[in-house]
Chains A and B, each alone.
Chain A
Amino acid sequence: MRIKTTVAIATMAMLALSACGGDDGDDEPTSGGATESAEIRVWINGPDTPQAARDWLKETFEEQHDGSTLVIEEQQWDGLVERLTTALSSESETPDVVEVGNTQAPTFTAAGAFADLTDRLDELGGEDLLPGFVEGATVDGQVYAVPYYAGSKYVFYRKDLFEDAGLSVPTTMDEFVETAIALKEANPEPASFSGFWLPGQDWRNGVSFIWDAGGDLAVEQDGAWQGALSTPESIEGLETVQRLFQEASGAAKDGNEADPQTPFCNNEVGMMSAPGWVRGLIEDPETGCPDMMENVGVFALPGSDGEPAPVLLGGSDIAVSAKSEHPEHAMDVVELMLSDEYQTIFAENGLTPAKMSLSPLLGDDEFAQATIDAASNAKLTPAAPGWAMVEGSRVLEDLFVDIAKGGDVAELAAAADERLDEELAR
């Protein structure tokens, strides 16, 4: 039976290959390798960077560097930590310039993934750069990343639905929660309607309620970082979150916060907390519903004391990979990305520019006001060196989904603290 023998041999070979192949299932798009010596690859995340800015960057760079090309590769925010971990450590695969979330930057900075930018800091903006961002990317006095843009989330709401339900814009946290629940009650159809749209995985919005109640995600004690989700204050905040999940939100209890414009344009949302650039997605006829804009209002999430609530300081850093083969070119790209021309495009699209001197460009309409209010009390995630690992292991996503499912908050928070301690101890 020759066939049997052949089959058996083929099987053994496949068995060996299959068993040891490991996890190659993650089909990441990779470049075809460095062909041209001066092809600069830039990783930009999500749709945040306006198309006009991308075009300007590519054109200007290629004009200034004859024979070089610049390739922008858009990455998803979801799973970025994992992708950066693998890509940045490989000389052949690494992009030259990367955008990284401001809360993720310290981990990669501490690990030595980025090139030192200290010498070029003055040309990049120096003292004019948003301060919190530069500090987060500084190790032993050397700066490894610079701010790209900032932008904290604020609340988009439907003026017409508020009017129909006889509601007014809330000015305190309590009023906000009541308004969200009242909106949901006033719109029983469809079942997926949200007074306040809060998908289960969305801890980046949920953390505002923890901070407003006086709690925190993690605190530093005697030089060691520990989870702080099970303190009485944090639990109070998480209970507010659970109430919103159960009484005000019609979003998927295990969904993530990507594409908020979809349910918003589908008449399923009364209020949602989203980054400023989502306005552009609503206004765009392809992704959104420009007709609805006349009914859209915005305000900064109010805190218990009537001032803006603490929200997550959103934004990105930009850095040069330590393994880049063309660090000089890469730094030129960073310089262009921080130039006044490029940053002006950001300001026009509702993103807070990386340079303080450019913030007046945001304008003075309702949207600019909400942007400035939200930023006035914005906070960063804990400055622990291992924070990106917390994000990579999805501890917080799991916690919030479990809370959305209706689990016991105190128990879940205690369990999440244990896992935070583990990740932060690394």
Chain B
Amino acid sequence: MTSPRAPRAPRSWLPLGLLLPTVVALTVALGYPLTRQVGLSFQEFGLAQQFGRPPEWVGLENYRDLVTDRYLWLVIGRSLAFCLVNAAATMAIGTAVALLMRLMSTPVRLLVQSGLLLAWAMPVLASLTVWQWLFDSQYGVVNWLLVRFGADYEGHAWLLEPMSFFFVATVVVVWMSVPFVAFTVYAALTQVSADLVEAAQLDGAGAWQRFRVVYLPAARPVLLVVALLQVIWDLRVFTQIYVLQQAGGVTRDTNLLGTYIYRLGIGGGDFGAAAAVAIFMLALTVVLTAPYVRMMLSAEDES
């Protein structure tokens, strides 16, 4: 920060004008639903209100009911655990694939990248249908293969027990998110100068040390951002859980925050309580991501 300040340009409205569309878009796209959601969470709002009956203001009642319900805390704990496990697994596998891609010959790398892109581009519901078929208890390929290898998996219901349900969900979610991480991290790794790597190698740094001391610091900002996004995405995971619940398993034992809000509101017709849970979820997201954001901001200050 020692560079001399440029002479101050004459005051112009241009920067403000350029910012304006973004600000307006954000206000409309985020402000309205957010205000509405906060309002809803203080109302008793059911199916009849959805069709035009005026809602009743109930103050903090929705929140009081929720906080005293053990089930909410159970779902929050479950969502947090699911989110952290999935984000960690996705980051680890994605980074590993990115590192691997650096070492591949071009044709192989293109093949891997095409595969990753296909997985990434596949519509969620379409790929979920396939996953569901793979894990089908009666006709699924997974059971068939396991039986072939002599395991006792004939008619095994993968979604029946919550832990097994979340295992399948984790496989699906990680499978869908790895390509994004792999590509982004790979892009960051290509920015690491070859000289630096070579110098480290000459100094006798092994593969692990090169990763820790050369690659990791260089890719840190990108890794932070990607990890942050993963945490957010995995906390609000919905489609995968919802579809798997329709296919099997016990809904109440496998609800995460997303599906809980949906069951409460759209399924059970209690939009007020659902909005209140959504506020919890928002708060949780902010708390969970605050350290990351702070780290990123301080990293920016340093530079």
Contact of A16 with B30 at beta-carbon distance under 8 Å, contacts A25-B239, A86-B266, A192-B155 already known: yes
A403 to chain B, nearest CB (A): 11
Q: Do A250 and B157 touch across chains, with their CB atoms under 8 A apart? A: no
Q: How far is the CA of A111 from the CA of B253 in the complex (A)?
A: 30
Partner pick for A254 among B26, B123, B249, CB 8 A cutoff = B249
A384 to chain B, nearest CB (A): 13
Q: Do B233 and A18 touch across chains, with their CB atoms under 8 A apart? A: yes
Q: Do B51 and A393 touch across chains, with their CB atoms under 8 A apart? A: no
A-B contacts counted at CB < 8 A amount to: 169
What 0/1 readout, one digit per residue, does chain A (281-294) give for beta carbons within 8 Å of chain B? Answer: 00000000000000
Q: How far is the CA of A113 from the CA of B246 in the complex (A)?
A: 26
Chain B residues, CB < 8 A from A14: 229
B274 to chain A, nearest CB (A): 10
Quick check: is B61 within 8 A (CB to CB) of the other chain?
no
Q: How far is the CA of A363 from the CA of B262 in the complex (A)?
A: 45
Q: How far is the CA of A255 from the CA of B87 in the complex (A)?
A: 29
Quick check: is B64 within 8 A (CB to CB) of the other chain?
no
Chain A residues, CB < 8 A from B233: 18
Q: Do A112 and B238 touch across chains, with their CB atoms under 8 A apart? A: no
Quick check: is B203 within 8 A (CB to CB) of the other chain?
no
Chain A residues, CB < 8 A from B51: 88-89, 111-113, 322
Q: Do B236 and A21 touch across chains, with their CB atoms under 8 A apart? A: yes
Chain B residues, CB < 8 A from A22: 33, 37, 278
Quick check: is B222 within 8 A (CB to CB) of the other chain?
yes
Could you say which of A7, A17, A110 has the most chain B C-beta atoms within 10 Å of its C-beta? A7
Contact of A110 with B48 at beta-carbon distance under 8 Å, contacts A11-B228, A20-B282, A85-B266 already known: yes
Partner pick for B269 among A1, A16, A192, A392, CB 8 A cutoff = A392
Chain A residues, CB < 8 A from B303: 1, 4
A-B residue pairs, 7 tightest by C-beta: A254-B248, A392-B267, A25-B239, A25-B238, A1-B303, A111-B47, A393-B268
Told that A18-B236, A398-B251 touch, could you supply 16 new A-B pairs with CB distance under 8 A? A4-B303, A5-B300, A14-B229, A17-B30, A19-B232, A20-B282, A86-B266, A113-B51, A192-B138, A200-B248, A252-B157, A253-B157, A255-B137, A263-B138, A268-B138, A394-B267
A-B residue pairs in contact (CB < 8 Å), sample of 7: A7-B221, A22-B278, A23-B236, A25-B258, A107-B47, A254-B159, A256-B247
B31-53 contacts to A, CB under 8 A, are: 33-34, 37, 46-48, 50-53
Q: How far is the CA of A79 from the CA of B293 in the complex (A)?
A: 38
Q: Do B286 and A19 touch across chains, with their CB atoms under 8 A apart? A: yes
Quick check: is A27 within 8 A (CB to CB) of the other chain?
yes
User: How extensive is the interface on chain B, given as a class?
Assistant: 35 or more
Quick check: is A202 within 8 A (CB to CB) of the other chain?
no
Q: Do B258 and A82 touch across chains, with their CB atoms under 8 A apart? A: no
Quick check: is A389 within 8 A (CB to CB) of the other chain?
yes
Chain A residues, CB < 8 A from B222: 7
Chain A residues, CB < 8 A from B159: 254
Q: Do B229 and A18 touch across chains, with their CB atoms under 8 A apart? A: yes
Q: Do A78 and B300 touch across chains, with their CB atoms under 8 A apart? A: no
Chain B residues, CB < 8 A from A191: 154-155
Quick check: is A177 within 8 A (CB to CB) of the other chain?
no
Partner pick for B285 among A5, A19, A79, A426, CB 8 A cutoff = A19
Quick check: is A317 within 8 A (CB to CB) of the other chain?
no
Quick check: is A165 within 8 A (CB to CB) of the other chain?
no
Q: How far is the CA of A12 from the CA of B37 in the complex (A)?
A: 21
Q: Do A16 and B26 touch across chains, with their CB atoms under 8 A apart? A: yes
Quick check: is A8 within 8 A (CB to CB) of the other chain?
yes
Chain B residues, CB < 8 A from A402: 250
A50 to chain B, nearest CB (A): 26
Chain A residues, CB < 8 A from B266: 82, 85-86, 392
Q: Do A398 and B250 touch across chains, with their CB atoms under 8 A apart? A: yes
Q: How far is the CA of A254 from the CA of B222 in the complex (A)?
A: 42
Chain A interface residue count, CB cutoff 8 Å, equals 64
Partner pick for B239 among A27, A200, A253, CB 8 A cutoff = A27
Q: How far is the CA of A4 from the CA of B302 in the complex (A)?
A: 11
Chain A residues, CB < 8 A from B236: 18-19, 21, 23
Q: Do A85 and B269 touch across chains, with their CB atoms under 8 A apart? A: yes
Quick check: is A423 within 8 A (CB to CB) of the other chain?
yes
A109 to chain B, nearest CB (A): 11
Chain B residues, CB < 8 A from A21: 236
Quick check: is A356 within 8 A (CB to CB) of the other chain?
no
Specify the chain B residue showing the minimal Cβ separation from A394.
Answer: B251
Quick check: is A26 within 8 A (CB to CB) of the other chain?
yes
Quick check: is B125 within 8 A (CB to CB) of the other chain?
yes
Q: Do B248 and A252 touch across chains, with their CB atoms under 8 A apart? A: yes
Quick check: is B166 within 8 A (CB to CB) of the other chain?
no
A20-67 contacts to B, CB under 8 A, are: 20-23, 25-27
Quick check: is B78 within 8 A (CB to CB) of the other chain?
no
A145 to chain B, nearest CB (A): 14
What 0/1 readout, one digit per residue, does chain B (15-39) give for beta carbons within 8 Å of chain A? Answer: 0000000000010011001100100
A164 to chain B, nearest CB (A): 23
What 0/1 readout, one digit per residue, does chain B (137-148) give for beta carbons within 8 Å of chain A? Answer: 110000000000
Q: Do B160 and A254 touch across chains, with their CB atoms under 8 A apart? A: yes
What 0/1 readout, one digit per residue, does chain B (292-303) give for beta carbons within 8 Å of chain A? Answer: 010011011001
Partner pick for B267 among A8, A81, A268, CB 8 A cutoff = A81
Q: How far is the CA of A255 from the CA of B158 in the complex (A)?
A: 11
Chain B residues, CB < 8 A from A7: 221-222, 225
Chain A residues, CB < 8 A from B270: 426
A159-191 contacts to B, CB under 8 A, are: 190-191
Q: How far is the CA of A191 from the CA of B51 in the complex (A)?
A: 49
Chain B residues, CB < 8 A from A255: 137-138, 157, 247-248
Chain A residues, CB < 8 A from B278: 22
Chain B residues, CB < 8 A from A392: 263, 266-269
Quick check: is A386 within 8 A (CB to CB) of the other chain?
yes
Quick check: is A15 within 8 A (CB to CB) of the other chain?
yes
Specify the chain A residue showing the minimal Cβ separation from B240.
Answer: A25
B212-243 contacts to A, CB under 8 A, are: 221-222, 225, 228-229, 232-233, 236, 238-239, 242
Chain B residues, CB < 8 A from A393: 263-264, 267-268
B287 to chain A, nearest CB (A): 11
Quick check: is B102 within 8 A (CB to CB) of the other chain?
no
